[in-house]
Amino acid sequence: MTKDECKKVVLDIIADIAPDEDLTNVKSDVRLRDQLQLDSMDFLDIVMELRKRHSIEVPEADYIQLASLDSCAEYLTPKFNALSAKS
Amino acid sequence: MTSRSHYDVAIIGAGMSGLAAGIRLAHFGKRVCIFERHNTVGGLNSFYSIGGRKFDVGLHAMTNFVRPGVKGTPLTKLLRQLRITREEFALCEQKQTRIAFGPHGETSLRFTNDFAVLEGEVAEKFPAQIDGFRRLTAAVRAYDDVSLDAQPVSARTLVRQHITDPLLEHMLFCPLMYYGSSSEHDMEFGQFVIMFKALFLEGFARPFDGVRVILRVLLDKYRTAGGERRMKCGVKHIVARDGRAAALLLDNGDEITADHVISSIGAPETARLVQSGHRLQPAPVPGRLSFVETITILDRQPADLGWGSDTIVFFNDSAKFDYACPEAQVDPRSGVICIPNNFDYGPDQQLAEGIFRCTCLANYDRWAHLPEEIYRADKLRWYATLQKSAQRFLPKLPAPEALTRATVSTDMFTPRTITKFTGHLGGAIYGAAEKNRQGRTDLANLYLCGTDQGFLGIVGAMLSGISMANYHILAKA
């Protein structure tokens, strides 16, 4: 998986949990919280959808890694790749 | 249907909060079962049929309404968390609500889903108070009402720092108390804030078909997510062992186990289920506030009687509003009128029949143990009294007998009805005065959601289920 594909995965999840947000111009390097109305409940949902859909585990201490799309890609891409290498 | 004997989570009660908790948990792969003693879902917000007519109970209006695009409010959080679209609820907005005080409602404040209307009314009728009202509004907006560990403070004390005219104070408290306060005379400020936002800053709406629409959507989501439910199958006992809810004994004699148990039936009601010598501490005390409601079905639209503009009227026949359990069976001095026809359903649809509901404070003890014959006679007597009382605050009828002539069917529920169908002790719709924000009990895997956790109204009930499922179970997985 590339980092761009990873960003797409995260955006797809956000689109499902916050269908009332406009995601067309989300900037990769800006904190998601600063450009979208996402609260802690929504971030919990991102984490849980990652687990449900992709079997990716994000421990609570790493939630901060999900701050922006760039940091998501940085943090999650290796996890996705490790997972596909295993299967 | 196969019924297992062990679940990840067992939920007691299929009301709004239990269903919402169930949807969250099932969506994220938990094996969940909701146990409901009755044959319908909805709990305090449900419906029943008599003579082919469906009557809503509980729901006058869904509070917390905001228009599309307004974010970060309870309604939008709820829709997101349950993956419900606005179209599914198809909410129609209220026309207007009045708070009417004085023997014939001489002093009145109107509000709609546009807060500026209320602000304008306060400025016009209480010019000396408007600055204080704006300060109070700012304090409400700044308050963190979803905090799970806020300290209780008296709302009266805080409100009086801004509002010095007792009439305005009583007028503001009246709707907020009627739509959610479980404590007499005063509210905890956090609860006041929740209600102020829910009613004044946000607003009222209703699906065309009433509460059934909301319940149908919740049930669909729950079923699609894989949740199980067992109807007509209440929980008789919670078996406590080693500080945990070790098993649930069901009404039908079966025993099931679950890693987590969420009870939506109320704190004292839950405490009563706990067995094996264990008593939940601290022992919760049932609430004292209960209600009667009359429902009158009309053969025409209320607008034809001149009652076409008010969706809801909160009334009180003097300057001082007394929110307390009355000495008598009913306190007809104050109450809430709801005319469900007066939501804006658009130009092409209107409810088939006229509906006129009136709610007043009532004393559970004075209704609970009456012999059947006297109970029925008292209902009839109070029905007439309530109708008369409420009419003082509505536009004058075209003829004195117009309402009676238009009436095709009536019904009335009392505190006794509430306890019979919801299990709430003392007919206490809003539950115990003392709320338990964290929803913890002294059994490690038993949590509370719903009324006694302390988020109010229908939207609050659902958010309570969501929050407790998130906080105690999903966030810890």
A34 touches chain B (CB under 8 A): no
Interchain proximity B68–A20, CB inside 8 Å: yes
Say what the pTM is: 0.94
Predicted confidence band at B2 (pLDDT cuts at 50, 70, 90)?
low
- For B27-59, the DSSP string reads HTT--EEEE-SSSSSBTTS-EEEETTEEEE-S-
Interchain proximity A16–B475, CB inside 8 Å: no
Q: Higher-confidence residue: B216 or B50? A: B216
Q: Residues of chain B whose C-beta is under 8 A from some C-beta in A? A: 27-29, 68-69, 71-72, 76-77, 79-81, 83, 85, 466, 470, 474-475
* pLDDT of B45: 87
Judge whether A10 lies within some domain. yes
Interchain proximity B71–A20, CB inside 8 Å: yes
Residues B279-297: what's their mean pLDDT?
88
Smallest CA–CA distance from B78 into chain A, residue: A41
Interchain proximity A41–B81, CB inside 8 Å: yes
Interchain proximity A41–B470, CB inside 8 Å: yes
Beta bridge partners of B32: B9
Q: Is the pLDDT of residue B156 over 70?
A: yes
Q: Is the pLDDT of residue B76 over 60?
A: yes
Judge whether A23 lies within some domain. yes
Closest to B91 measured CA to CA, from B427, B417, B345: B345
Selected for mutation to probe chain A from B80, B148, B470 (highest A CB count within 10 Å) is: B80
The least confident of B121-125, B237-241, B426-430 is B426-430
* pLDDT of B455: 81
Q: Is the pLDDT of residue B466 over 70?
A: yes
Interchain proximity B71–A37, CB inside 8 Å: yes
* pLDDT of B280: 73
Smallest CA–CA distance from B24 into chain A, residue: A45
Q: What is the dihedral of CA B237, B241, B243, B246, to 10 degrees?
A: -60
* pLDDT of B1: 46
Closest to B36 measured CA to CA, from B48, B28, B44: B44
CATH number where A18 lies: 1.10.1200.10
Interchain proximity A45–B81, CB inside 8 Å: yes
* pLDDT of B205: 97
Strand B235-241 vs strand B244-250: parallel, antiparallel, or unpaired? antiparallel
Chain position carrying tokens 């999900």: A66
Chain position carrying tokens 């922006």: A68
Interchain proximity A39–B85, CB inside 8 Å: no
Beta bridge partners of B312: B97, B338
A37 touches chain B (CB under 8 A): yes
Closest to B472 measured CA to CA, from B7, B6, B8, B81: B8
Query: pLDDT tens, B212-265?
Result: 999 999 999 999 999 999 999 999 999 999 999 999 999 999 999 999 999 999
A39 touches chain B (CB under 8 A): yes
Percent of chain B surpassing pLDDT 70: 97
Chain position carrying tokens 């209480």: B126
* pLDDT of B262: 98
A16 touches chain B (CB under 8 A): yes
Residues A24-50: what's their mean pLDDT?
93
Which residue from A18, A51, A52 is facing B80, i.e. has the nearest CB?
A18
Q: Chain B residues with CB inside 8 Å of A16's CB?
A: 83
Q: Chain B residues with CB inside 8 Å of A45's CB?
A: 80-81
The span from the CA of B410 to the CA of B441, in Å, is 42
Q: Chain A residues with CB inside 8 Å of B80's CB?
A: 17-20, 41-42, 45
Chain A, chain B: beta-carbon pairs less than 8 Å apart: 34
Predicted confidence band at B477 (pLDDT cuts at 50, 70, 90)?
low
Residues B182-198: what's their mean pLDDT?
94
Predicted confidence band at B58 (pLDDT cuts at 50, 70, 90)?
confident
CA dist A11 → A34, A42, A70 (Å): 15, 13, 12
* pLDDT of B319: 97
The span from the CA of B216 to the CA of B122, in Å, is 39
The span from the CA of B283 to the CA of B235, in Å, is 20
* pLDDT of B184: 96
Q: Is the pLDDT of residue B330 over 90?
A: yes
Which domain does A30 fall in, by range? 3-78
Q: Chain A residues with CB inside 8 Å of B74's CB?
A: none
Number of structural domains (chain A) is 1
Q: Is the pLDDT of residue B432 over 50?
A: yes
Phi, psi of B190 (to 5 degrees): -60, -40
The span from the CA of B466 to the CA of B461, in Å, is 9
- For B247-286, the DSSP string reads EEEETTS-EEEEEEEEE-S-HHHHHHHEETT---SSPPPP
Measure in Å the smallest separation between the Cα of A21 and chain B Cα atoms: 9
Q: Chain A residues with CB inside 8 Å of B468's CB?
A: none
Interchain proximity A19–B77, CB inside 8 Å: no
Interchain proximity B69–A42, CB inside 8 Å: no
Q: Higher-confidence residue: B385 or B146? A: B385
Measure in Å the smallest separation between the Cα of B259 and chain A Cα atoms: 19
Predicted confidence band at B337 (pLDDT cuts at 50, 70, 90)?
very high
Residues B75-91: what's their mean pLDDT?
95
| Helix pair A3-17, A69-86: axis angle to 10 deg | 110
Predicted confidence band at B136 (pLDDT cuts at 50, 70, 90)?
very high
Q: Is the pLDDT of residue B452 over 60?
A: yes
* pLDDT of B59: 76
Residues A65-78: what's their mean pLDDT?
96
Which residue from A42, A52, A60 is facing B80, i.e. has the nearest CB?
A42
Query: pLDDT tens, B311-322?
Result: 999 999 999 999
* pLDDT of B438: 92
Residues B53-71: what's their mean pLDDT?
89
